[in-house]
Amino acid sequence: MTIRHLKTARSEADRAEDDAKVRSTVEATLADIEARGDAAVRELSEKFDGYAPAAFRLTDGEVEALMNKVSDRDMADIKFAQQQVRNFAQAQRDSMLDIEVETLPGVILGHKNIPVQSVGCYVPGGKFPMVASAHMSVATASVAGVPRIIASTPPFKGEPNPAVIAAMKLGGAHEIYVLGGIQAVGAMALGTETIEPVHMLVGPGNAFVAEAKRQLYGRVGIDLFAGPTETMVIADDTVDGEMCATDLLGQAEHGYNSPAVLVTNSERLARDTLSEIDRLLHILPTADTAGKSWEDYGEVILCDSYDEMLAVANDIASEHVQVMTDRDDWFLEHMHSYGALFLGPRTNVANGDKVIGTNHTLPTKRAGRYTGGLWVGKFLKTHSYQRVTTDEAAAEIGAYCSRLCLLEGFVGHAEQANVRVRRYGGQNVPYGGAAE
CATH 3.60.110.10 applies to domain 17-223+377-382: no
The helix/strand/coil state of 381 is: strand
**What pLDDT is recorded for position 322?**
98
**What pLDDT is recorded for position 225?**
79
**What pLDDT is recorded for position 126?**
75
Residue stretches of the chain with pLDDT short of 70: 1
pLDDT tens digits, one per residue of 242-260:
999 999 999 999 888 999 9
What residue numbers does the annotated binding site cover? 122, 183, 206, 229, 251, 254, 320, 353, 408, 413
The DSSP bridge pattern shows strands 231-235 and 118-122 to be unpaired
**What pLDDT is recorded for position 424?**
98
Give me the catalytic one of 319, 360, 396, 415: 319
Could you tell me where in the chain the CATH 3.40.50.1980 domains are found? 17-223+377-382, 228-373
**What pLDDT is recorded for position 16?**
75
Asked if 220 and 186 count as a contact pair (C-beta separation under 8 A), the reply is no
Beta bridge partners of 262: 233, 300
Asked if 124 and 205 count as a contact pair (C-beta separation under 8 A), the reply is yes
What residue numbers does the annotated binding site for substrate cover? 229, 251, 254, 320, 353, 408, 413
What residue numbers does the annotated binding site for NAD(+) cover? 122, 183, 206
**What pLDDT is recorded for position 194?**
97
Between the two ends of the chain, the Cα-to-Cα distance in Å is 62
Give the pTM. 0.92
**What pLDDT is recorded for position 1?**
58
pLDDT tens digits, one per residue of 45-63:
999 999 999 999 999 999 9
Give me the catalytic one of 230, 320, 360, 415: 320
Q: Which CATH architecture has domain 228-373?
A: 3-Layer(aba) Sandwich (3.40)
Question: Catalytic: 319?
Answer: yes
What residue numbers does the annotated binding site for Zn(2+) cover? 251, 254, 353, 413
DSSP 189-225: HH--SSSPPPSEEE----HHHHHHHHHHBTTBEES--
